[in-house]
Structure 1
Amino acid sequence: MGKGIFYAVSVGAGDPLDMTLRAKQVLEQADVVVAPVTRQGSASAAYTIAAQAADLSRAQILEMLFPMKAHTDYRERLRSGILQPVCAALDEGKLVAMVTLGDVSVYSTASYVRQLLEEKGYETRVAAGVPSFCAGAAKAKQSLCENGETLGILPGVASREVLEQAFDEFDNLVIMKAGRALSWLLPLLEERGLLEHTTMLRDVGMASEYVGSPQAEPYSYFTTLLIRQRGE
């Protein structure tokens, strides 16, 4: 087994200025940068952000395909052999860094990659980042939780039953990648009297960024809702 190190590197929500100094340092030392793409030939959003904040000229770029489809089993896809080039680089003693949007610890495919590589015996590390809901809350000048308030973080693919249970269990909620669920989620929020206490974040840190009413269109894959049930 080689002595290479794999880093899962968070690059933040979209604004290169939000990328951490640690992430910049790791990426500029990397021999290989893994850039996730949603389809062949498309640009990697995470790599594009990273390249604006760090000098990536010395690194080999390795694209890895992760289609953004509901119910995709990324763990199974990773076990299919697409990690072989990463393992080969690590076996050669190289520093390999995979960039990921937001933070590695929050619904990130890079987290699966790191876990599987560690199971194979490779040394892995993580560079933390700013998740979209934190960056968006800052843009909205809004607290996610105060005093003894509780905060629940859920994916937009969660069922109505799960979300309704979360409304009952938490004071405030973050619903990530909520765009496809808004057709039934917005009526639910209206029914509970929560529309006026909900902020929609779309494409935080990107050119198409929007922070405001949850009823504003268009929606996107990177649509997040901040819901304060106690209001402000």
Structure 2
Amino acid sequence: MAKIYAVGVGPGDPELLTRKAERILRQVDVICAPTGAADAASYALAIVEPFLDRARQEVLIQTFPMSKDAAELRPFWEAAAAEVAGRVRAGRDVAFVTIGDPLLYSTFLYLWQIFRESYPDIAIELVPGITSIGAAAAAAGIPLGIAAERIAILPATYAADELRRTLQEFDTVVLMKVSRVFDQVYGVLKELGLEKNGVFVRRVGSGEEEVVRDLASLVGQKLDYLSLLIVRKALHGC
């Protein structure tokens, strides 16, 4: 029976796909790719394009608006799940591609919930991918954790007091989705004396990759959505 593959395609460099991910992408019948707007390109699709055979494979673009309102998004998730389920039940294997890893802040997690609720008979295989976190740490030359050090990963949209507490309690903190709240985050870092202990990385693994260590230079700037900030208390020896 056909199945769904949730394929993590890495942060941006096609060479960072796993061999398993590439094999699955080449063999499935349908490639399903998410985008944030109907007229926007899919970043995940751009990563895997070199491995596709468009003469044989269907490429299905699905729109998931950038909203925090679950009730507003639910109809989009349900419609997307129905599209995929219909193809699987017709005997076609589907690969849903997602940047990074499918189990870390990915679009697929919302669909997975719908599939488990409404289509429990459909098999789903999760294919892990290299995360932007690991790739960004490599690009910046910063270890994420050594020995007994503690690591935290959280969306930068957390309230300032929660962010402050996390920065105080952990040795390394990775802040995802930092672009819209960078100035507030920088303010907290400066308050804690950590403004020189962070590295900002945008579009890691792509031709537009940028690593910025002078965080003050980013204050007041319009930053890329595909960016993160790594804050590490012990920068010496890195």
Counterparts of 2:230 and 2:75, CA distance in 1: 32
SS in 2 for 1:104: coil
The answer to whether 1:132 aligns with 2:129 is no
Q: Which residue of 2 aligns with 1:169?
A: 169
Identity of aligned residues (%): 31
| Contact 1:78 1:113 (8 Å CA) reproduced | no
SS in 1 for 2:196: helix
| Contact 2:101 2:129 (8 Å CA) reproduced | yes
| Contact 2:33 2:42 (8 Å CA) reproduced | yes
TM-score calculated relative to the size of structure 1: 0.92
Q: Which residue of 1 aligns with 2:107?
A: 109
TM-score calculated relative to the size of structure 2: 0.90
What aligned pairs does 1:66-145 form with structure 2 within 5 A after superposition?
66-69=64-67, 71-73=68-70, 76-119=74-117, 120-121=119-120, 122-145=122-145
SS in 2 for 1:164: helix
Deviation for aligned residue 1:78: 4.4
Number of matched residues? 228
Q: Which amino acid is the alignment partner of residue 133 of structure 2?
A: F
Q: Which amino acid is the alignment partner of residue 166 of structure 1?
A: T
Q: Choose the corresponding residue for 2:227, options 220, 223, 229.
A: 223
**Structure-2 change in CA distance of 1:79 and 1:133 (3 Å):** closer
Q: Which residue of 2 aligns with 1:28?
A: 26
Deviation for aligned residue 1:225: 0.6
Deviation for aligned residue 1:32: 0.8
Counterparts of 2:69 and 2:226, CA distance in 1: 17
Deviation for aligned residue 1:133: 1.3
- Structure 2: runs of 5+ lacking an equivalent: none
Q: Which amino acid is the alignment partner of residue 12 of structure 1?
A: G
Counterparts of 1:178 and 1:79, CA distance in 2: 25
Deviation for aligned residue 1:80: 3.9
Q: Which amino acid is the alignment partner of residue 178 of structure 2?
A: A
**Structure-2 change in CA distance of 1:176 and 1:227 (3 Å):** same
Q: Which residue of 1 aligns with 2:52?
A: 55
Q: Deviation per CA, 1:130-165, whole angstroms, max 9, x where unpaired?
A: 111110111111100101001000012222122122
Counterparts of 2:27 and 2:176, CA distance in 1: 32
| Contact 2:81 2:114 (8 Å CA) reproduced | no
Q: Which amino acid is the alignment partner of residue 2 of structure 2?
A: G
